[in-house]
């Protein structure tokens, strides 16, 4: 293995409190500077995780000395729900809970219940999903479904037990995650999606076994290109296996044809098996930028809003929700919160993946980027 340098970074990043505009804001949901609406909200509920996936929370950094956030710094369920209500008013229709490992947050089903009770202007509940490493899913799937969760995405990087234990780096067995997936299917959290991050030379030999395991099961397997998120995973371009090669490898054995996207802004390109054994997806975050349609905002566990997975700066929504005595700030009303968030979204021009190969992308890369375990996938 080649040497790599892992910069030590603090995961609590630069942020500012978004100003509340004095002028009245339009009541229609805002578009950003690239005319993109706000549709998806990813809420990270904890920065802790029981795995140490080498590409996300490498053990060398996230060790015993690492300082995770204090519970008092996390948004409460009431604060998350209040923010979500305002985001729904700004156009959000889909909420994904993530982390860290979201199922480590105590009583998460209570938050699911509270979010499920929210209503869009059309009177519907927002679509509610969760991304999890699956380790606690066998125990929690039923409760989550009963609380109003619609679907789950389970991350699983290998079917081979030895390879999987190496990737999660805490010796966690694959059988337990498969049990979680079965429990999610039994509870009706369907269609279950499985995310596999592909790292060339680490788990690319698992592409075909994974495809064959989930073919015909109703589970939608999605292959994610290994991304240069954060600063701690020692990312290198030569470890990215382009999605086209994933498709080619599977197609050579089980022929595939492309499918139309379900909706604009969808991250995965869909493919179906010619023999009717279901579909797979590829998320080509590196080789095929999908910024043009990116309609996602991310709220961290301590209430910082990020407009891009590769953002260098967050907006301190918690200071608006809770006030900040040290900064002389009082909590704001829902109307002011809406106005502040609408203005933040309307000024967004983030498009890191489109810029990755350019000088502007290089400049962004040199600035501090948030870790995946802090804002979720």
Residue among 13, 55, 164, 345 that touches ligand SAM (CB under 6 A) = 55
- Told to check if 56 binds ligand SAM by CB under 6 A, we report yes
Host H or E run for residue 318: helix 317-322
Cα separation values, 105 from 77, 198, 362, Å? 10, 27, 36
CA–CA separation, 275 vs 256, rounded Å? 8
CB 40 within 8 A of CB 309: no
3-state secondary structure of 146: helix
Which C-beta is closer to ligand SF4: that of 317 or that of 321? 317
Residue among 351, 369, 374, 375 that touches ligand SF4 (CB under 6 A) = 351
Residue among 129, 203, 233, 312 that touches ligand SAM (CB under 6 A) = 233
Which C-beta is closer to ligand SF4: that of 33 or that of 236? 33
Residue 299 CB, nearest approach to ligand SF4 (Å): 14
Query: What are φ and ψ of residue 257, in 5° steps?
Result: -135, 150
Task: From the list ligand SAM, ligand SF4, none, pick the one residue 233 interacts with, judged by a Cβ distance below 5 to 8 Å according to partner type.
Answer: ligand SAM
Other beta carbons less than 10 A from residue 300's beta carbon: 30
Which residues between 277 and 306 bind ligand SF4 (CB under 6 A)? 290-291, 294, 296
- For residue 224, what are the contacts with CB-CB under 8 A and spacing of at least 6? 195, 196, 197, 198, 282, 283, 285
CB 129 within 8 A of CB 95: yes
Which C-beta is closer to ligand SF4: that of 53 or that of 147? 53
3-state secondary structure of 3: coil
- Told to check if 40 binds ligand SAM by CB under 6 A, we report no
Number of residues that bind ligand SAM (CB under 6 A): 21
Residue among 54, 168, 195, 312 that touches ligand SAM (CB under 6 A) = 195
- Told to check if 373 binds ligand SAM by CB under 6 A, we report yes
3-state secondary structure of 271: strand
Which C-beta is closer to ligand SAM: that of 177 or that of 339? 177
CA–CA separation, 134 vs 156, rounded Å? 8
- Packed helices 77-89 and 108-116: angle between N→C axes, nearest 10 degrees: 30
- Told to check if 104 binds ligand SAM by CB under 6 A, we report no
Other beta carbons less than 10 A from residue 349's beta carbon: 11
- Told to check if 342 binds ligand SAM by CB under 6 A, we report no
Antiparallel, parallel or unpaired: β 151-155 and 279-283: unpaired
- Told to check if 310 binds ligand SF4 by CB under 6 A, we report yes
Residue among 30, 99, 230, 303 that touches ligand SF4 (CB under 6 A) = 99
Which residues here bind ligand SAM, judged by CB under 6 A? 49, 55-56, 98-99, 101, 131-133, 155, 195, 197, 224, 226-227, 229, 233, 372-373, 376-377
Which residues here bind ligand SF4, judged by CB under 6 A? 49, 51-53, 56-57, 99-101, 133, 155, 290-291, 294, 296, 308-310, 350-353, 373
């Amino acid at each position: 293995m080649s040497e790599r340098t892992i910069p030590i970074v603090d995961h609590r990043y630069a942020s500012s409190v978004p100003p509340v505009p004095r002028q009245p804001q339009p009541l229609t949901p805002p578009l950003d500077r690239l005319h993109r609406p706000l549709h998806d909200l990813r809420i990270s509920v904890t920065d802790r995780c029981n795995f140490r996936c080498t590409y996300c929370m490498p053990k060398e950094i996230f060790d015993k000395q690492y300082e995770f956030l204090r519970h008092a710094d996390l948004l409460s369920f009431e604060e998350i729900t209040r923010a979500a209500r305002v985001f729904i008013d700004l156009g959000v229709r889909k909420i994904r809970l993530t982390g860290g490992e979201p199922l480590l947050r105590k009583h998460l089903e209570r938050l699911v219940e509270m979010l499920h009770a929210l209503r869009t202007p059309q009177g519907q509940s927002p679509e509610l999903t969760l991304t999890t490493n699956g380790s606690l899913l066998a125990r929690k799937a039923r409760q989550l479904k009963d609380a109003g969760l619609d679907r789950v995405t389970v991350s699983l990087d290998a079917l081979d037990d030895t390879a999987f234990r190496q990737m999660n780096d805490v010796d966690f067995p694959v059988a337990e995650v498969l049990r979680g997936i079965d429990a999610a299917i039994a509870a009706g959290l369907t269609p279950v999606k499985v995310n596999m991050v592909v790292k060339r030379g680490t788990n690319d030999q698992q592409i075909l076994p994974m495809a064959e395991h989930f073919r015909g099961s109703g589970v939608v397997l999605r292959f994610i290109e290994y991304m240069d998120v954060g600063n701690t995973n020692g990312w290198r371009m030569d470890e990215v296996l382009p999605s086209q090669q994933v498709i080619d490898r599977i197609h050579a054995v089980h022929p595939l044809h492309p499918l139309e996207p379900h909706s604009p802004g969808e991250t995965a390109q869909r493919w179906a098996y010619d023999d009717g054994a279901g579909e797979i997806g590829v998320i080509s975050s590196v080789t095929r930028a999908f910024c043009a349609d990116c309609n996602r905002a991310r709220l961290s566990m301590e209430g910082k809003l990020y407009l891009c997975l590769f953002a260098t700066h967050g907006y301190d929504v918690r200071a608006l929700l809770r006030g900040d005595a040290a900064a002389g700030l009082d909590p704001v009303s829902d109307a002011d919160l809406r106005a502040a968030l609408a203005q933040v979204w309307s000024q967004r021009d983030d498009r890191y993946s489109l810029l990755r190969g350019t000088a502007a992308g290089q400049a962004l890369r040199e600035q501090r980027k948030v870790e995946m375990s802090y804002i979720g996938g």
